[in-house]
Each structure stands twice: as C-alpha cells, then as structure tokens.
Chains A and B, each alone.
Chain A
Amino acid sequence: MSDSALLCPSAQPHVPGAAVHGVVDSATGRIAYLEARVPVTPELLASTSPMLPTQVLRVSAPCQEESCAHFANSTCTLGERLVSILPASEQTIVRCAIRVSCRWFHEQGKAACLRCDLIVTDEYTRNTALDSVATPPLAR
C-alpha cells in the first residue's frame, strides 16, 4: 500500500474522507471498534453535543502528512510516541475496520493496535504520559 493511501486513525471529522471507526465505551472509557467505517455526517457529529465529536468518536481520514504537526521524516511521530511511551492496554489485537490502511499499524505494527484503544482524540483530563504522546515535535 502506498503511503498516500494510509489513514490517520485519530483524525478530525472535517478532513475530507473522514469516517467513524470507533466510539468511547462509556463503561471502560476505552475505544470500542465498529465492524465497518461509518461516514461522518452533520447529524452524527451533532449527536455528541455538548461534547466534541472527537471526545466521543474515533475518526479516521486520509493521512494529511506534512500538513499535520505530528508528521516528520515521513513518519507519524504520534504513532511512534504512542508505542514508546504508553504500556500496552491489551494482550491481543481486536478487529478493526481500518487496520489494513492504518498509518499507525503500517509503521508501528501490532504494538500500536495494543495501545490504540487508550486514545481518545480530544480530552480535557490531565495525564502526563498522554500529554507526552500528544505533544508533536514542533511543540517540544
């Protein structure tokens, strides 16, 4: 698969081609994955009010590469930090609708999948480890 076809697994819903592939499980606070991607619609986004859609949904969209603060040296540094900073949350990987085209999986492999359900795209709660993962190279 060419890099240009890869999906960002933690995208913003306004990015063209965005679709939902996960939702925060209210029981665990972790991501539950959909069998198939669900296209983003205004109605779907409005259903998360007053929360941001990205506080509730995991959205995937074509990787924006150089337009994203996390992209450096042809790599998603967010995926790198995810694997290097956070401990695995799962022992086995679960079914995911975007794995075959996921940039994090493409670059970090199974290690990214074992931590992916910890990632809520936008959060207000404080957590030092997650803050470190979220901080892109240019902000360091």
Chain B
Amino acid sequence: MSIKASELPELIAAAVKKAVAEKQITDEQLLALAHRPITIGLIAQPELTAAKSGATITEGERVPFPLRTMGYRLVGLDELRNTAALKAEEE
C-alpha cells in the first residue's frame, strides 16, 4: 500500500505517539539528542580519526549508548554519539 504525502503528518504523529508510549526514548537518549547537533554532519575522516581518542574509545568497543544506525553512517558516528565520552571531553 502506498500512502499519500498528505497522510504523512498523521502517520508521523501516530508513530511518535506509539514510540513515546512504549518508552523507546529515555532520559539518557534525550541527553544524546541534545548532543546530536555536535555528533552529526560530514566529518572528514582525518578529523574523525583525530577525534577518536584512544583514551576513551578502543577498537571494537561497544559504546554504552545503544543506538543502532541502519543506514548512511560516517565512520565512528556511534562513538561520537557516546554522550559519556562527550561529557568527559567537555570536563
């Protein structure tokens, strides 16, 4: 079934309502959203490599924040979404 563009707002509202009701978003996740403007955007790989501090991120490490990105993903995006690491860097 294809849906019309005019139906999109209603479908979005329903999907968001269900997701919030099912607590798919937590305080920790909201904190991550607050950091999102920092964590997304095109980052040239050399800069990204420099940003991956060996002290905070090790190869193969599963970051504690369990966001799974099923799609376009810059190298290290999950690591950049690690709010604990971001907070540590700010301090």
Give complex CA distance A20, B13 in Å.
Answer: 15
Given known pairs A10-B71, A11-B71, A33-B2, the reply for A55 and B12 (CB within 8 Å) is no
Is A122 part of the binding interface, using a Cβ–Cβ cutoff of 8 Å? yes
Answer yes or no: A36 CB below 8 A from chain B CBs.
yes
Neighbour of A119 across the interface among B8, B16, B70, B73, CB < 8 A: B70
Q: Does A89 contact B (CB under 8 A)?
A: no
User: Beta-carbon contacts of A48-69 to B below 8 Å, as 1s and 0s?
Assistant: 1111101111000100100111
Residues of chain B with a CB closer than 8 A to A20's CB:
8
**The one of A14, A36, A54 that contacts B71, using a Cβ cutoff of 8 Å:** A54
User: Does chain B have a CB within 8 A of A138?
Assistant: yes
Q: How large is the interface on B (under 10, 10 to 19, 20 to 34, 35 or more residues)?
A: 35 or more
Q: How far is the CA of A122 from the CA of B15 in the complex (A)?
A: 14
- With a cutoff of 8 Å between Cβ atoms, the chain B residues found around residue A134 in the complex are 68-70
Q: Is A121 an interface residue, CB under 8 A from the partner? A: yes
Instruction: Given A14-B41, A26-B18, check contact A124 B25 (CB 8 Å).
Output: yes
Q: How far, in whole Å, are A68 and B73 apart by their CA atoms in the complex?
A: 5
Q: Which residues of B contact A23 (CB under 8 A)?
A: 3, 8, 11-12, 15
Q: Which of A38, A120, A138 interacts with B75 by CB under 8 Å?
A: A138
Contacts of A38 in B (CB 8 A): 5, 8
Is the Cβ of B24 less than 8 Å from the Cβ of A55?
A: yes
16 extra A-B contacts, CB within 8 A, seeds A47-B16, A67-B42, A134-B68: A12-B40, A23-B15, A33-B1, A34-B4, A35-B3, A47-B13, A48-B15, A48-B16, A50-B25, A70-B71, A78-B71, A97-B2, A121-B70, A134-B70, A138-B75, A139-B60
